[in-house]
Amino acid sequence: MSTKKKLEFGGVPGNLLLVLVLPVVVAFLHFSVKYNDARLFAYDGADWEGFFRALVPTWEAAAIYLGWFALQALLQAFAPGPIVQGTPLPNGKHLLYKMNGRASLVATAIVVGALHFSGVLPIRVLHDRFGELLTVMVIFSYAFSVFLYFYGKATDDRSTGIAIHDFWMGTGHNPRIPPHGLFDLKFFCEARPGLPFWVLLDLACMHAQYETYGFVSLSMVLVCAFQLLYVVDYFWNEPAILTTMDIKHENFGFMLCFGDLVWVPMTYSLQAFYLVDRVHDLPLWAGLLFVALNLLGLYIFRAVNLQKHRFRQSPETATIWGKKAEYLETKQGGKLLVSGFWGWSRHFNYVGDILMAVSWSLPTLFGSIVPYFYPIYFTALLVHRERRDHRICAEKYGEDWEAYCKRVPYRILPGVY
């Protein structure tokens, strides 16, 4: 690669900063919710000592996390599920993926339920030991990313030669174990250890609230139910991940590794953490409104993503809203869908994501901005992500992408942006 090409995410200084700062952001958000009365910028009365003590890693936390990771890896390798073909690679070949997310989720629920109800490992432990677990997971994700850096170079090299950038973005596109086997590390990490762990953290918070107050608030039920639904939906439609930007265009490095393994479970559970000690009366009408918003967001998110996924699987026979899918043929060989939601805007799926994100925070009401971290950060991420995807597609499809953008002029929100 030409080093003249602009490096993404702020080049070397930006990449280095993100590698160092992202774990601190996760820890700081947790500090804010649990040790600083959900304040971001005022620190009188903050329990710094308790916070730093909680972060000290322990062997128990390491055993819990490594056991969890190993369980998920074993399920990915051995649980039953269909083998599905990925979209064509630049060399025209297809990789195979084992879609056993549903069976893995059920097996995980059985194992976790057995550990909890037998008293061997009550779920609340995840809430009480959050700090130690976080430190362990951060260390693990750094170590794993170092492995990915060298393994990617050895087996599937797409590095630029700029070490910190390669560490951040990854050196391999589809690192697999063994190198040409079925266990795809990027596909596995996209969901397996992180998404169910996030649900367990939510449940641990719910349990902690129940043990403290003797009941679970409606807000807590809604947040946990919405997020559980999102995760179940992911595994229900698991093959749809194969046509996303992460699988198709990204290498597998610290960015995705840390994002999937640490950032997602440890920051997306912030609302549930916030609610543990904040029990407020949520009127039923408000609860119903949030349910409606969540379902609308989930519907948009899933329907838009499935339209593209089904089109990519069989462009000639796919139908959308009862009609044959319309598309633009490109010189590169690929086809770009222009009917259904994909005729409304180029990323209408992101609208669904944002509506869902807002609905996950509204049940916390308005006492602090911290539980709104997810919708705020995520909206910014999606705007940036759309621009990155635009650049990648413009490079891939050339003037056909320009023609597509003329035909579908809005980026995310039809008529607005």
Note the helical H segments in 36-58. 48-55
Binding to ligand NDP by residue 149, rule CB under 6 A?
Answer: no
**Which range, of 51-59, 118-126, 277-285, 301-309, touches ligand NDP by CB under 6 A?**
301-309
| Minimum gap (Å) between residue 402 Cβ and ligand NDP | 13
Give the three-class secondary structure for 84.
Answer: strand
Binding of ligand NDP by 315 (CB under 6 A): no
- The smaller minimum CB distance to ligand NDP, of residues 43 and 299, is found at 299
Assigned token pair, 38? 């959900």
| Residue 80 CB, nearest approach to ligand NDP (Å) | 26
Other C-beta atoms lying within 10 Å of the C-beta of residue 157: 12
Q: Which pair of structure tokens corresponds to residue 242?
A: 């194969």
Q: Where are the beta strands (DSSP E) in 89-211?
A: 96-98, 176-177, 183-184
Q: Total number of residues binding ligand NDP (CB under 6 A)?
A: 24
Asked if 68 interacts with ligand NDP (CB under 6 A), we say no
Between residues 151 and 230, which has the closer beta carbon with respect to ligand NDP? 230
Q: How far is the CB of 57 from ligand NDP (least distance, A)?
A: 26
- Taking the least distance from each CB to ligand NDP, the nearer of 79 and 351 is 351
* Least distance from ligand NDP to the Cβ atom of residue 334, Å: 5
199 by Cβ neighbours in 10 Å (0-12 / 13-18 / 19+) ranks as buried
Out of 255, 256, 318, 337, which residue is the one contacting ligand NDP (CB under 6 A)? 337
Q: Which residues contact 287 (CB under 8 A, 6 or more apart)?
A: 218, 222, 363
**C-alpha distances in Å from residue 2, one per residue of 157, 160, 162, 365, 391:** 16, 8, 11, 50, 16
Element counts in the chain: helices (H) and strands (E): 18, 8
Give me the 253-272 binding string for ligand NDP, x by CB under 6 A, dash otherwise: -----------x--------
The amino acid at 232:
V
List the structure tokens of 267. 């920051």
CB of 331 to ligand NDP, least distance (A): 13
Could you tell me the smallest distance in angstroms from the CB atom of residue 257 to ligand NDP? 14
Closest to ligand NDP by CB, 104 vs 305, is: 305
CA Rg value for the chain:
22
| Residues making contact with ligand NDP (CB under 6 A) | 243-246, 248-249, 264, 301, 305, 308, 334, 336-337, 342, 346-347, 349-350, 353, 382, 385, 389, 392-393
